[in-house]
Amino acid sequence: MLDRRQVVAGLVVKGLGATVLASLVPHQLWAAAIKPDDASALLVIDVQNCFLPGGSLAVKDGEQVVPVINKIAKSFANVVMTQDWHTPGHVSFASAHSGKKPFETIDLAYGKQVLWPDHCVQGTDGASLSKDLAIPQAELIIRKGFHNDVDSYSAFTEADGKTTTGLAAYLKARKVKRVFVAGLATDFCVGWTALDARKAGFETYVVEDACRASTRRGRSPRPGPTWPRPGSSVSSRRISRNASRRARSAWPSWRHPSHSLPKYRKQPHAK
């Protein structure tokens, strides 16, 4: 049985604010290009206005993932999208804590919590999915972070490590066995989603050019899940109905600046 360090060993982050890539499957599975089938699902994570240019928590170059996601989504019969969906005055907002500023941390019942600018408040334009997403076949939208006293990054499990969104059961009921994760931001919501997908037993990929990272060096001491060792990469070019090219192997030496992951849910929780 894999321990937590082995679980994260398949992920690699390649440069701050740049393309981030990851895989949580054995290297030999990359021998051929990838053709999604009925047992495959694309998870599109938090491509919302607040995380796009002009948003309150914008990810650098976040808008660049949209055309890539639109392109690869055409190859998937199963697509699930997620939205951060916070209450006004959510516990993760710095504005909810007197004297606190964004990117400071506080202690909550489930561990350290990074405080964020107000973002993705229910019913606001900032919480809306990008108008440029064109995925009419998307069959489910998972809204997360709507419990006022618990933050949520993963599409599968909230930040307390116990409360589930129901996504794993939904996918398993549809006999999905492998998931491809794309969206914003790789070092937080995409990363936690990938880790929890693997933990739930899914063969898991993160699409390198369909994600962007939002790490703010120096503002968060351990700004999200860490990737102790690199793995093989998958790009959108490997995902096609008529895929024929062989997948490439990438073993970059870059390492995420945050500390090693001592315990799966004891990292300060951050977007």
For the purposes of burial, counting CB atoms within 10 Å of the CB of 3, is it exposed (0-12), middle (13-18) or buried (19 or more)?
A: exposed
DSSP β-ladder status, 203-212 and 178-184: parallel
Half-sphere exposure of 252 (CA within 13 A, CB side): 14
Structure tokens at 115: 């405080």
Task: Tell me whether residue 161 is exposed, middle or buried, using C-beta atoms within 10 angstroms of its C-beta: 0 to 12, 13 to 18, 19 or more.
Answer: middle
For residue 211, indicate whether it is catalytic.
no
Question: Catalytic residue among 14, 84, 120, 189, which?
Answer: 189
What is the helix (H) or strand (E) element at residue 80, kind and residue range?
strand 78-84
50 is a catalytic site residue: no
| Candidates 50, 120, 144, 209; catalytic one | 144
- Does the annotation count 189 as an active-site position? yes
Question: Which residues, 6+ apart, have CB-to-CB distance to 123 below 8 Å?
Answer: none
Active site residues: 46, 144, 189
